[in-house]
């Protein structure tokens, strides 16, 4: 089992540690609800060192990323970031990721922890004949996410970069606490905030400095438990749940990531599905009965199974059961009353518009 | 929080308070700490027969689903409906307002399978929780 550079800090903070994607990670320090609310109202600091970073550099870098990803990378300029999906030929998701543009010859991919090896293999396979170098940076780079309405005020105390002028989905290279870093205004919580990348040997130092500097702004370390409830309220996909090798981004309800551009892997299947409409879709639902939906529970309409829950929780913000589920197209309309099978009993739920929680950061 | 002296305990972290032939049942302070933020409780129906060591209720935190096991066999004669709307009572007062069910004890000899306060605390130490 792998540990991030911050493992001992988590232990010192009394975190409950669980296995996630082959890593021993903190699921919470105090409890999930407290950490969730802290991120929504103040600031949360997340150890995301387990995620992978892959650099693509060379004369053909642009041509390769344009072929690999669903988003039109020609729209991406230096210092810009796009969230998109890397598909296989059938349109299934190899992974979902963010792409950072340094220039047309250099891109950084930020990918899921559990899929880095698969991603690298796929990228290398697709890059045959391209003049590029593909490098795995996961062991060199630490990644911390600082999220919440107080994130900017806290990080500004540790950098000379003008954070106020950094727009959402933009990044800059500067110093944090005197350490060379990439700072992006992105996140997985639907709050304003930053993802920060720097040399892994500085992870403990910067982690502790952020917690100290942010104390008066109410910062707390936040585990993967609240990371999951925060992203679920925002209806952000989680790979392995709403996306996998057999689920397309269209089915996942994120067709906005698929641009109609020249050839890219999976284009034929995706455009066809976009035109004809997917036969199944990931939809958001909330419980009308008191109950907590969970991953894998079956979804019923009448006495017939029409889908399954991909993610579910008790929402700390709305204090009711919420979830995402894969349902047949015919049963995916907003307002459709469905039932979730929980321990052999059926509980009422209704399909609602995505997301439960709108991005609160504004378009800084 | 101290584990009250007048209760008996199971290795599955339930407590039981014997009042005549009625057993009041709840989960221990250790259990609620392990679960952390309890957000949902599924209670058995009154009149249901429960069996010692078998699941009789469910408690859920944001991240987990856990069974509550019956520490004695018998008929459920009362349930704490307050927990349905305020499951967090289980975190705040596991030994008081957080009782879960009352069971009419079928066979008092089953009580011998349970631990004393000292026995339960020794069990917690030994299992290095």
Task: Identify the pLDDT of residue A63.
Answer: 97
Task: Identify the pLDDT of residue A363.
Answer: 67
> How many beta-carbon pairs under 8 angstroms link A with B?
40
Closest CA to B14 of B113, B83, B106, B88: B113
Number of domains comprising chain A: 3
For chain B, domain boundaries: 8-124
Q: For residue A259, is it within any domain?
A: no
Task: Identify the pLDDT of residue B127.
Answer: 86
User: Looking at the complex, does the CB of residue B82 fall below 8 Å from at least one CB of chain A?
Assistant: no
A118 and A148 inside one domain: no
Task: Identify the pLDDT of residue A279.
Answer: 97
Q: For residue A154, is it within any domain?
A: yes
Fold of B8-124: OB fold (Dihydrolipoamide Acetyltransferase, E2P) (2.40.50)
Query: Are B40 and A292 inside 8 Å of each other by CB?
Result: yes
Average pLDDT of chain A to the nearest whole number:
97
Could you tell me the CATH number of the domain that includes residue A347? 2.40.30.110
A57 and A112 inside one domain: yes
Per-residue pLDDT at B42 exceeds 90: yes
Q: For residue A11, is it within any domain?
A: yes
Could you tell me the CATH number of the domain that includes residue A210? 3.30.1360.120
Q: Identify the domain boundary among A101, A117, A135.
A: A135
> How much of chain A, in percent, has pLDDT values that exceed 90?
96
A11 and A151 inside one domain: yes
Q: Residue A340 belongs to what domain range?
A: 279-352
Task: Identify the pLDDT of residue B10.
Answer: 97
pLDDT digits (tens, 9 = 90+) for A194-251: 999 999 999 999 999 999 999 999 999 999 999 999 999 999 999 999 999 999 999 9
Residues of A with CB below 8 A from B63's CB? 27-28, 32, 225, 228, 313
Per-residue pLDDT at A58 exceeds 60: yes
Task: Identify the pLDDT of residue A347.
Answer: 97
A364 falls in which pLDDT band (50, 70, 90)? low
B1 falls in which pLDDT band (50, 70, 90)? confident
A107 and A144 inside one domain: no
Q: Give the mean pLDDT of A22-46.
A: 97
Q: Strand A337-342 to strand A219-221: parallel, antiparallel, or no bridges (unpaired)?
A: unpaired
Per-residue pLDDT at B56 exceeds 80: yes
All residues at 6 or more sequence positions from A272 whose CB lies less than 8 Å from its CB, including other chains: none
Task: Identify the pLDDT of residue B129.
Answer: 54
A156 and A217 inside one domain: yes
């Amino acid at each position: 089992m792998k540990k991030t550079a911050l493992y001992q800090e988590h232990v010192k903070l009394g975190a409950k540690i669980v296995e996630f994607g082959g890593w021993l990670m903190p699921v919470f320090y105090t409890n999930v609800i407290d950490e969730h609310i802290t991120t929504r109202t103040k600031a949360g600091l997340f150890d995301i060192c387990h995620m992978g970073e892959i650099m693509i550099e060379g004369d053909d870098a642009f041509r390769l990323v344009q072929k690999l990803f669903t988003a039109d990378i020609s729209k991406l300029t230096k210092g810009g970031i796009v969230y998109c999906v890397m598909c296989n030929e059938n349109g299934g998701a190899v992974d979902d990721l963010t792409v950072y543009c340094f220039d047309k010859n250099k891109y950084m991919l930020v990918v899921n922890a559990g899929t880095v090896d698969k991603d690298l293999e796929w990228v290398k396979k697709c890059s045959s004949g391209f003049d590029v170098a593909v490098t795995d940076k996961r062991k060199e780079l630490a990644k911390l996410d600082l999220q919440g309405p107080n994130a900017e005020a806290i990080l500004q105390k540790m950098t000379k970069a003008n954070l106020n002028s950094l727009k959402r989905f933009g990044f800059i290279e500067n110093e944090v606490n005197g350490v060379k870093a990439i700072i992006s205004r992105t996140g997985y919580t639907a709050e304003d905030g930053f993802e920060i990348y720097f040399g892994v040997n500085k992870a403990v130092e910067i982690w502790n400095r952020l917690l100290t500097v942010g104390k008066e702004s109410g910062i707390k370390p936040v585990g993967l438990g609240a990371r999951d409830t925060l992203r679920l309220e925002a209806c952000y996909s989680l790979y392995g749940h709403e996306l996998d090798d057999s689920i397309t981004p269209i089915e996942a309800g994120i067709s906005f990531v698929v641009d109609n551009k020249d050839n890219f892997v999976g284009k034929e299947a995706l455009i066809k599905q976009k035109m004809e409409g997917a036969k199944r879709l990931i939809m958001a639902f909330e419980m009308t009965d008191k109950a907590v939906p969970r991953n894998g529970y079956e979804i019923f309409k009448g006495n017939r199974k029409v889908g399954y829950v991909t993610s579910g929780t008790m929402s700390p913000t709305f204090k009711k059961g919420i979830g995402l589920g894969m349902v047949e197209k015919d049963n995916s309309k907003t307002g459709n009353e469905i039932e979730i099978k929980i321990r052999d009993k059926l509980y009422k739920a209704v399909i609602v518009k995505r997301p439960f929680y709108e991005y609160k950061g504004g378009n800084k | 929080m101290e584990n009250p002296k007048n209760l008996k305990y199971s290795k599955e972290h339930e407590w039981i308070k014997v009042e005549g032939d009625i057993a009041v049942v709840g989960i221990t302070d250790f259990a609620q700490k392990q679960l952390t933020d309890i957000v949902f409780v599924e209670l058995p129906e009154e009149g249901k027969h429960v069996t010692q060591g078998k699941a009789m209720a469910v408690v859920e935190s944001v991240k987990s689903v856990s069974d509550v096991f019956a520490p004695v066999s018998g008929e459920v004669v009362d349930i704490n409906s307050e927990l349905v709307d305020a499951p967090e009572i289980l975190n705040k007062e596991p030994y008081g307002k957080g009782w879960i069910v009352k069971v009419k004890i079928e066979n008092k000899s089953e009580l011998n399978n349970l631990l004393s306060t000292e026995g339960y605390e020794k069990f917690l130490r030994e299992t290095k929780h």
